[in-house]
Amino acid sequence: MIHLTKIAAAELARYAIRVNAICPGFILTDIFTAGSGVRGAAAEVVQSELARSALQAQPVRKPGSPRHVADASVFLASDEAEFITGTHLAVDGGITIGPRHSWDPDTPSPIDAARGERAARG
């Protein structure tokens, strides 16, 4: 998608058309239940579990909401973003910033883990 955004932005800039992409992460919607036909109380349980999972899945310890994507859309469509084109905006709670050990202080890096294993073996 990133390349398509850049190509479209380059082609359309001469017409004063800006092209950007929003790349959502863990956005809590009914997409997880509606497609599988889960409804009612069962859907609420699934949604609750997904919300709980988001607390551990990404640096921002809450699930994203449709409002987060909408706010990003409003910004990119606004005059404040008039000089932004050909980019992508990650609305993902930081899940793409790096491996878990880069943002979770309780997760050792692979290097630290390997060092610990070697030290334990003596």
Rounded Cα gap, residues 106 and 116, in angstroms: 14
CATH topology (fold) of 2-121 = Rossmann fold (3.40.50)
Query: What is the per-residue pLDDT across 58-117, written as a single tens digit (0 to 9) for each?
Result: 999 988 999 999 999 999 999 999 999 999 999 999 999 999 899 999 888 888 878 875
Domain boundaries along the sequence of the chain = 2-121
What pTM did the predictor assign? 0.79
Task: Report how far apart, in Å, the C-alpha atoms of 48 and of each of 14, 32, 62, 97, 115 are.
Answer: 47, 11, 12, 25, 38
pLDDT digits (tens, 9 = 90+) for 33-56: 887 888 899 888 988 988 888 888
Could you give the CA distance from residue 61 to residue 50 in angstroms, rounded to a whole number?
A: 12
Specify whether the CB–CB gap between 27 and 54 falls below 8 A.
no
Rounded Cα distance between 80 and 50, Å, is 34
